Amino acid sequence: MEQKETQKPASIKVTGSQSVIKSLIEEGVEIMFGYPGGQIMPIYDALYDFTDKINHVLVRHEQGAAHAAQGYARATGKVGVAMATSGPGATNLITGIADAMLDSTPLVCITGQVGAMLLGTDAFQETDVIGISMPVTKWNVQVTKAEDIAPAIAKAFYIARTGRPGPVLVDITKNAQFAECDFQYKKCEGIRSYIPVPKVDVNKIDQAAKIINEAKKPYILFGQGVILGSAEKEFRAFVEKSGIPAAWTLLGNSSLPTSHPLNVGMLGMHGNYGPNIKCNECDVLIAIGMRFDDRVTGDVKRFAKQAKVIHIEIDPAEIDKNVKTEVAVLGDVKESLPLLTERIKTNNHEAWIGEFKKCMDIEYNQVIKKDIHPEKEGMTMGEVIRRITDKTKGDAILVTDVGQHQMIATRYFKFNKTRSCITSGGLGTMGFGLPASIGAKMGAPDREVILVVGDGGLQMTIQEMGTIFQTGAAVKIVLLNNNFLGMVRQWQQMFFEKRYSSVELINPDFITIAKGYSIEGQKVTSRTNIDNAIDTMLNHNGPYLLEVVVEKEGNVFPMVPAGCSVSEIRLE
C-alpha cells in the first residue's frame, strides 16, 4: 500500500521584518507592548500593515513595556510580548525581564540590533543584550539571518510557556530584518534535551499519601505554581478532601478563595501570625508550587526542622535547594495532585485548624483591628483597602506596586477568582504597578482592575499615565500617600534607630499631573470622605486616580525581621 506524502505548507516570500509579525500572528498574539527606535524600525514598518491583527500598545518607556506584558500574562495566562530597539531600548527591558524570571512569568521580548557586520564594533546604540540578559532569561538567541527568524520565535514561545514559565529574548540584527526569506511557520512542539515537565513518579505519590494519612498536624503551603499549572480546581479538591489548613505565598494569592474555610492566610515576612509560627509546629509540611524563598522561610536553618516536608514541584532545580525534603513529587501539579487526592483519606483536622483560629484572634486584636478600624485621626492603609475590597465584593483584579501598601493590600484584599493578585514578588520592583495594571486591564477588559500604589513607586513609572491617556485603559489607581518611602522608613525606624536617611518625599500635585493626562481624580484627606470617594472612583467610566493621604509613619505588622526564625514573628 502506497504511503501518501505529507504536504508541506506552502511558503511565501517575505522580509525578515514581515516574518516577525507573521510569526507573532501564528502564535495567536493579539496585544503587544513596545517602543520603536532605529534598529527595530523595519519591524515597526511591517507592523503598519497588520494593525487589524495585532494591537500594539505604545508605552512611554521600555521598562513599562516589559511590566505591561507581565501584567497581561499574569491576568490571562498567555505569553506577554514586549518589543524594543537596541542599546538603551533593550537595556531598559532588563528590569522587567529579571522580574519575570524570578516570578516565572512567560514573556517573549523582541529587540532590534545593529547589522551583523557591525556587531562587536561599538556601533551606535549597540549593546551585548544577549550577554546582559543571559542571567535573567530562560533562553535567549541572536538572529542574524532572515530565514532563522520564524524558527527562533517558534522556539521562544514554546520555551516561554512550557514547564516552569519564564521570559525569553530574541535579538534580531537589522540586516536580518531587511533581508528576504521563504516564510513557512511551524510551531515548536519539542526541543531535544529540553524536558519541560518531568514524568510523575507514582511511587513518590504513594509515599507522600502515606505520610499525609499518618499526619496529626499537616500543613499546606501553596504558591503560584497552582495558578501557572491551571490547577485551581485540582488543588481545591485536594485541600477539601484532606481537611488540611492551607496558607499562600504572595504570588499564590487568589489560587483559593479568601473566604474558603481552609484558607488560613499568608505566610512570609509580612504574612499572618498563625501561618508563620505553625511552620515550626506542624508534623508534615506540604509545599505545592512554591520555592521556599527567604521571605517565606526566614532563617532557613530554623525553618520546619520538626516536619516531614513533601514538595510538589515542576522544576527539579527547586528540590532541596533551600529546604530538605522527605518526598519530592516532580511533575505538572495538574497531573500529580489528582493522583495524590485519590490516595489520601478524607479527613478533618478540626483541633489543629482551631489553633490557627486562635492565632488569628490574637492577630486581629493586636494588629488587624487597629489597621481596619483605627481609633486614631489619620487614615490607615488597611482601612482604605478593606473598604475598597468590600465595595468590589472580591471580584476585582488587584495590582500592586512594591512596599508597605503591597503587604497591606495583599493581606486585606478579598479574592473570589483566580489570577486576581498581580504583584512583583521575587525582585520587588518599585514601578511595576502602573504599567502592569495597564497590561492586566487590556488582558481582562471586562474585569475591574484596581492598582494600589505608593507615592514612591508611582513616580518611578508615572510617565505610563501617557499610555493610559492614549489607550483609555480604565485602570482605577489608588495612591496611598504617606510622603515617605514607607517600607525603607519602617526598617530604619526598627533597625537603624530612626535615622531616616533619604526616605522623606516632597511630592508633586498628583491630581494635577493626572488631569494633564485627562485622568480624572480626587485627593482625600479625611475619613469622612473616603466612602463617597471610592464610590465615585468605581462608578467612573474610565481611568481614575484616587489619592488618599494616610498616616505618615504607619508600620506594617506582623513582621518576621530579616535573619529571624518564623517563630520570632513580631506583632508590634
Report how many helices (DSSP H) and strands (DSSP E) the chain contains, helices first: 23, 20
Q: How many CB atoms lie within 10 A of CB 294?
A: 14
In the beta sheet, which residues pair with residue 328? 311
**One-letter amino acid for residue 551 of the chain:** E
In the beta sheet, which residues pair with residue 477? 451, 545
Q: Which of 121, 54, 116 is nearest to 83 (CA)?
A: 54
Positions of E strands within 338-414: 397-400
Q: Which of 132, 394, 95, 446 is nearest to 140 (CA)?
A: 132
Positions of E strands within 131-248: 139-143, 167-173, 180-183, 218-222, 246-248
125 in catalytic set: yes
Cβ density class 173-188: b for 16+ within 10 Å, e for less: bbbbbebebebebeeb
Q: Which is catalytic among the residues 266, 487, 537, 559?
A: 487
d(CA 531, CA 536): 9
Q: Which is catalytic among the residues 27, 62, 383, 547?
A: 62
Element (H, E) at 253: none
> Which residues are within 8 A (CB) of 223 and not within 5 positions of it... i.e. 6 or more apart?
248, 249, 251, 252, 287, 288, 289, 290, 291
- C-alpha to C-alpha distances, 532 to 387, 388, 421, 438, 551, nearest whole angstrom: 11, 11, 25, 25, 20
d(CA 108, CA 512): 36
CA dihedral 29, 31, 33, 35 (to 10 degrees): 90
Specify the residue for cell string 483541633.
351
Q: Which is catalytic among the residues 53, 117, 124, 187?
A: 124
Cell representation of residue 133: 540578559
**CA–centroid distance for 563 within its chain:** 25
3 in catalytic set: no
Q: Which is catalytic among the residues 30, 125, 469, 520?
A: 125
- For residue 398, give the DSSP letter: E
Q: Which is catalytic among the residues 174, 334, 441, 476?
A: 174
Three-class SS state of 485: coil
> Which residues are within 8 A (CB) of 547 and not within 5 positions of it... i.e. 6 or more apart?
479, 481, 510, 511, 521, 522, 523, 524
Three-class SS state of 324: coil
| Residues identified as active-site | 62, 124-125, 174, 487
